Amino acid sequence: MAHSSEPTTAMGRERLPLSTVLPRAWRGFTSAPWPCVGLSGLILSSAAGLGTLARELQANSSAWIRHSGDLVWVLSLLVPLILMLGLLRLADTLLPSTGPDDCDVPQAKERIPWLLRQSVALALIETLILLGGITTLRGLGTALLAHSGVLAAVALLAGGIALTSWTAGQVLALPLLIHHGHRPLAAMEHSRKLVQQNRLKVLALLGLLVGLNLIGLMGACLGLLLTLPLSALILMASCRTQTPWRKD
């Protein structure tokens, strides 16, 4: 099965439809609230339950039990990631089609194994780049500190800003991968271009997501059952971009 691997920015400058993401997200949520809440509950319970079990096993005096605790710790990261992928894919199917591009997206039942492989590859690539950048900054700061503390501080500040900018530029990579069927590198490039063209809107989007989930943390974190699916719907609605001379 062929999948799109080129970012759609070739059509022109893409505009993030920030003014319409909340109405779209709410309509998507009300069309299937219980599957959304159920998946959110599974994400939270798997993360908390497996993480707690991993800590208990790692504190055991037996070596093989400690090793099994390491395995459970890996599962505590992998299982919520898979469930989050399912939540994003569900959100993508709940949102209405907005143009001819959406008609080319393969059906969910045909794409889930492919999406899982590509999403894991994307997570690994971004993690390696981030860890490599942090390691490089630490080594550079240590080397420069022996000659000049001011120079080391300037280099760390500049490198930190560059690394933060790169990280912010990848905030839409996974949603774009899911919606457009991109390969990991194409999704990263599409996200970078989209963020670069909509800096202020992306900052507003991040502020909206952070504020929404801070509200969800109230009430013994039960609000996350609602704010997690709404966040997923907002992210997937952000992939329905607008281009000049085309109505959304």
Residues 189, 192, 194, 195, Cα dihedral to 10°: 170
Domain coordinates in residue numbering, the chain = 110-197
User: In whole angstroms, what separates CA 81 from the centre of its chain?
Assistant: 10
How many Å apart are CA 94 and CA 15, to the nearest integer?
Answer: 22
How much of the chain exceeds pLDDT 90, in percent? 28
CB 240 within 8 A of CB 11: no
Burial tier of 63 (Cβ tally within 10 Å: 0-12, 13-18, 19+): exposed
Q: Dump pLDDT digits (tens) for 40-81.
A: 999 989 888 888 888 888 887 777 888 888 888 888 888 888
Whether 93 shows a pLDDT value over 70: the answer reads yes
Q: Report CA Rg, the chain.
A: 20
Range in 19-28, 95-104, 149-158 the model is least confident about? 95-104
Q: Dump pLDDT digits (tens) for 206-232.
A: 999 999 988 888 866 788 889 999 999
How many Å apart are CA 4 and CA 183, to the nearest integer?
Answer: 8
Pinpoint the alpha helices (H) of the chain: 18-31, 33-58, 63-94, 100-103, 108-145, 149-169, 173-180, 184-197, 199-216, 224-237
Supply the pLDDT for residue 189.
93
How many Å apart are CA 108 and CA 112, to the nearest integer?
Answer: 6
How many Å apart are CA 1 and CA 42, to the nearest integer?
Answer: 31
